[in-house]
């Protein structure tokens, strides 16, 4: 079986009690290439920030390399380059 590099199940991100992202399910496996497309303000950066733990999920779970995000410590395997604000 091919290992999931990033997996999100039922992801929800809310700011001030207002859901910004909801019902996010994603499974990116080793060797796959994924593009995240959407209009300005559609939540692309918020999703990526949630994937690396910079924005908390209100519900759901993120796993990196098969490990739940709160327990993940193998950060040398992850690259994140944020956009300029």
pLDDT tens, 19-62? 999 999 999 999 999 999 999 999 999 999 999 999 999 999 99
Count of domains forming the chain? 1
pLDDT value, residue 85? 62
Please state whether the predicted TM-score (pTM) of the whole model is above 0.85: yes
Its domain, for residue 24, covers 4-67
Higher pLDDT, 36 or 85: 36
| Cβ pair 69, 63 in contact under 8 A | yes
Taking the alpha carbons at both ends of the chain, their separation in whole angstroms is 39
pLDDT value, residue 18? 93
| Cβ pair 4, 63 in contact under 8 A | yes
Is 21 within a domain?
yes
What residues have CB less than 8 Å from 38, skipping those under 6 apart?
44
Is 23 within a domain?
yes
CATH code, domain with 58: 3.40.50.300
Is 83 within a domain?
no
Phi, psi of 6 (to 5 degrees): -135, 130
User: What mean pLDDT do residues 60-83 have?
Assistant: 95
Is 79 within a domain?
no
Higher pLDDT, 58 or 83: 58
What residues have CB less than 8 Å from 72, skipping those under 6 apart?
53, 63, 64, 65
Q: Which residue has the tokens 């519900």?
A: 59
Is 24 within a domain?
yes
């Amino acid at each position: 079986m091919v290992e999931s590099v990033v997996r999100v199940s039922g992801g929800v991100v809310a700011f001030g009690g207002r859901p910004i992202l909801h019902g996010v399910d994603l499974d990116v496996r080793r060797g796959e290439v994924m593009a995240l497309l959407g209009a300005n303000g559609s939540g692309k950066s918020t999703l990526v920030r949630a994937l690396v733990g910079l924005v908390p999920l209100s519900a759901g779970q993120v796993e990196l390399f098969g490990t739940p995000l709160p327990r993940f410590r193998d950060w040398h395997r992850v690259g994140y380059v944020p956009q300029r604000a």
